[in-house]
C-alpha cells in the first residue's frame, strides 16, 4: 500500500503544472475577457473532468491509510497557538510590503496600518479574548475590502474567513466546526480560482507567455484547462474532507515551485497558505471530515459517490461563477 501511495504521489507532483497555484491577478495587466460558454465546454474539458473525477475516486479508495496516520499529532500539541502566531507572522510579512490579504490590496492610509499592527499585537498576546478581538478586526477589514473590490473578487481569499472563523470558534459550543470551516473555505478559494482560469483564460495565457512557463508540450490553452482541473480537484477534496494530508503535501510542493518562478510577490501572497497546509498535514483531519465514507457498504458505492458529487460541485461552481462573477 505504501508503494502505491508513493507511486501516485510522485506522478501527481511530476505532472502537476507549476502555474496551477499562481494567482493570475498578481502578475498580469491583461484585461480579463470572458470566453463564451460553448468554447469552455469543449470535448477536452469534459474529458479532463471525467479523468479528474475518476482519479479522485481511485485515490480515495487506495490511500486511506495515509489520512489515518495519527503519530504526527503528538508533535503538534497546540494547533490553536500555531495558527494564531502563524497568522501574525503572515500579517507582518504583508504589512512590510504595504498590503493586506493579497499583494494586490495596498493599504493607503496610516489608520489602516495602525489597525493591522493592532491585530498582530492582539494575536501575539496569549489571551483568548485578544485573539477573538483580532479576528473581529480582521473580519472588519475583509468586509470593507468586499465593499470596495466586490464580493466575487474577495471570494478568491475566502480562506481568510476560515482563519477568522477558526479563531472565533475557539472554546465555544461550536468549536468542533472550526477545522471543517478552515478546510471548506480553503477548498472554496481553490475551486473559485480554478473557475477563473476557465472563464478568463487570457490572464493565465499571458502569464505563460510572459514568464516562459513550460507547458510540457501541451498547447497553452489546453495546459490552462489542465491546471484549473488540478486546482479544482484539490479544492473539492478539502471541501469534502477527503485526502487532506495527501494534497497538503502536493500543495506545499507546488506553491514552493511557483514561488521560485514568480518570486517574492508570490511568497507574500501564499505564506499564510504554508501555515494552513502544515496544520492540515500535522493535525489529524479525519475527525473533522463532513464525509463518513464508511457509510458506504462497498468501495464501489464510495467510488461512485465521489465521482457524482464532484460533477455536482463542479457544475454548481461553474454556473454561479459564469452567471454572476
The answer to whether 234 touches 250, Cβ cutoff 8 Å, is yes
Each residue's pLDDT tens digit, 95-117: 988 888 888 888 888 898 999 99
- Give 324 or 325, the one with higher predicted confidence: 324
Q: What is the pLDDT of residue 158?
A: 92
pLDDT, tens digit (0-9, with 9 covering 90-100), for 258-315: 888 778 888 888 899 999 998 888 775 555 555 555 566 677 778 888 889 999 999 9
pLDDT band at 137 (very low <50, low <70, confident <90, very high): very high
Separation CA 191–CA 20 (nearest Å)? 12
Residue 188 has pLDDT above 80, yes or no: yes
Which residue has 465555544 as its cell numbers? 172
Given pLDDT bands bounded at 50, 70 and 90, which one contains residue 14? Answer: very low
pLDDT score recorded for residue 69: 52
**Confidence band for 24, pLDDT divided at 50, 70 and 90:** low
Average pLDDT (242-267) is 82
In this prediction, residues 318-322 reach a mean pLDDT of: 90
Q: What is the pLDDT of residue 296?
A: 62
Burial 152-166 (b: 16+ CB within 10 A, else e): ebbbbbbbbbbbbbb
**Comparing 132 with 38, which gets the higher pLDDT?**
132
**Residue 245: CB atoms within 10 Å:** 21
- What pLDDT band is residue 201 in, cutting at 50, 70 and 90? confident
Provide the percentage of residues in the chain whose pLDDT is more than 70. Answer: 81
238-263: average pLDDT: 83
pLDDT of 242 over the 60 cut = yes
- 260, 214 in Cβ contact below 8 A? no
What average pLDDT does range 194-209 have in this prediction? Answer: 84
Rounded average pLDDT over 193-222: 81
pLDDT at 67 over 70: no
How many whole angstroms separate alpha carbon 273 and alpha carbon 86? Answer: 10
Q: What is the mean pLDDT of the chain?
A: 82
In this structure, of 14-23, 129-138, 182-191, 266-275, the range with the lowest mean pLDDT score is 14-23
Give me the percent of the chain exceeding a pLDDT of 90: 31
Q: Where are the domains of the chain?
A: 77-324
pLDDT band at 13 (very low <50, low <70, confident <90, very high): very low
Q: Measured between alpha carbons, how far is 9 from 152 in angstroms, rounded to an integer?
A: 33
The number of angstroms, rounded, from the C-alpha of 25 to the middle of its chain's C-alpha atoms is: 16
Query: What pLDDT, on a 0 to 100 scale, did the predictor assign at position 160?
Result: 94
Quick one: pLDDT band at residue 217, thresholds 50, 70, 90?
confident
- 74 — pLDDT class (breaks 50, 70, 90): low
pLDDT at residue 205 is higher than 60: yes
Amino acid at each position: 500500500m505504501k508503494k502505491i501511495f508513493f507511486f501516485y504521489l510522485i506522478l501527481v507532483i511530476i505532472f502537476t503544472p507549476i502555474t496551477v497555484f499562481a494567482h493570475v491577478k498578481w502578475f498580469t495587466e491583461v484585461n480579463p475577457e470572458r470566453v463564451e460558454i460553448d468554447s469552455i465546454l469543449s470535448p477536452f474539458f469534459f474529458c479532463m473532468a471525467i479523468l479528474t473525477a475518476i482519479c479522485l475516486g481511485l485515490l480515495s479508495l487506495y490511500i486511506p491509510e495515509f489520512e489515518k496516520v495519527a503519530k504526527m499529532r503528538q508533535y503538534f500539541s497546540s494547533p490553536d497557538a500555531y495558527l494564531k502566531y502563524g497568522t501574525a507572522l503572515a500579517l507582518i510579512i504583508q504589512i512590510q510590503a504595504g498590503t493586506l490579504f493579497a499583494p494586490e490590496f495596498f493599504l493607503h492610509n496610516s489608520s489602516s496600518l495602525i489597525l493591522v499592527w493592532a491585530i498582530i499585537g492582539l494575536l501575539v498576546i496569549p489571551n483568548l479574548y485578544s485573539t477573538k478581538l483580532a479576528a473581529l478586526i480582521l473580519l472588519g477589514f475583509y468586509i470593507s475590502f468586499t465593499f470596495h473590490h466586490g464580493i466575487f473578487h474577495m471570494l478568491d481569499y475566502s480562506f481568510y474567513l476560515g482563519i477568522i472563523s477558526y479563531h472565533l470558534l475557539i472554546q465555544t459550543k461550536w468549536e468542533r466546526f472550526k477545522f471543517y470551516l478552515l478546510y471548506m473555505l480553503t477548498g472554496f478559494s481553490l475551486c473559485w480560482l480554478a473557475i477563473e482560469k476557465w472563464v478568463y483564460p487570457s490572464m493565465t495565457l499571458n502569464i505563460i507567455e510572459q514568464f516562459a512557463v513550460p507547458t510540457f508540450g501541451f498547447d497553452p490553452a489546453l495546459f490552462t484547462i489542465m491546471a484549473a482541473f488540478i486546482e479544482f480537484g484539490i479544492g473539492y477534496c478539502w471541501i469534502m474532507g477527503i485526502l487532506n494530508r495527501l494534497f497538503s503535501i502536493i500543495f506545499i510542493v507546488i506553491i514552493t515551485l511557483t514561488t521560485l518562478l514568480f518570486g517574492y510577490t508570490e511568497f507574500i501572497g501564499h505564506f499564510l497558505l504554508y501555515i494552513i497546509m502544515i496544520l492540515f498535514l500535522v493535525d489529524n483531519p479525519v475527525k473533522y471530515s463532513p464525509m463518513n465514507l464508511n457509510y458506504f457498504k462497498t468501495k464501489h458505492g464510495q467510488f461512485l459517490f465521489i465521482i457524482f458529487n464532484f460533477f455536482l460541485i463542479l457544475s454548481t461552481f461553474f454556473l454561479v461563477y459564469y452567471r454572476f462573477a
